[in-house]
């Protein structure tokens, strides 16, 4: 799946977690702009893992700070 298609599916998944309705760009950070706490991160990651049938380990999550980095990582993890 190409980046645009992946981004579109992630965009649909993030909506219920984006409680403040922040306008998301590739530069948006999860802890800063989106104010995700650790529980939200867990539920959001689980939703993405299930959608794409991938694993995003804690080690990989530690490298992902922005929305753009997440999309890139999911593209890569799908192989």
Q: Is 63 in the site for other proteins (CB under 8 A)?
A: no
Alpha-carbon span 8 to 62, nearest angstrom: 23
Which residue in the set 49, 51, 65, 72 belongs to the binding site for other proteins (CB under 8 A)?
49
Backbone dihedral angles phi then psi of residue 17, each to the nearest 5 degrees: -90, -15
What is the smallest separation between the CB atom of 60 and other proteins, expressed in angstroms? 8
54: nearest Cα among 63, 41, 44, 45: 45
What is the smallest separation between the CB atom of 56 and other proteins, expressed in angstroms? 8
Q: Is 46 in the site for other proteins (CB under 8 A)?
A: yes
Q: Are the C-beta atoms of 31 and 40 separated by less than 8 Å? A: no
What is the smallest separation between the CB atom of 44 and other proteins, expressed in angstroms? 12
Q: Is 54 in the site for other proteins (CB under 8 A)?
A: yes
Alpha-carbon span 62 to 43, nearest angstrom: 16
* Sites of contact with other proteins (CB under 8 A): 37-39, 42, 46, 49-50, 53-55, 57-60
């Amino acid at each position: 799946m190409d980046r645009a298609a992946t981004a579109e599916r992630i965009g649909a998944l993030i909506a219920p977690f984006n409680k403040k309705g922040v306008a998301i760009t590739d530069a948006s950070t999860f802890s800063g702009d989106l104010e995700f706490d650790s529980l939200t991160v867990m539920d959001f990651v689980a939703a993405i893992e299930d959608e794409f049938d991938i694993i995003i380990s804690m080690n990989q999550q530690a490298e992902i700070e922005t929305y753009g980095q997440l999309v890139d990582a999911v593209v890569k993890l799908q192989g």
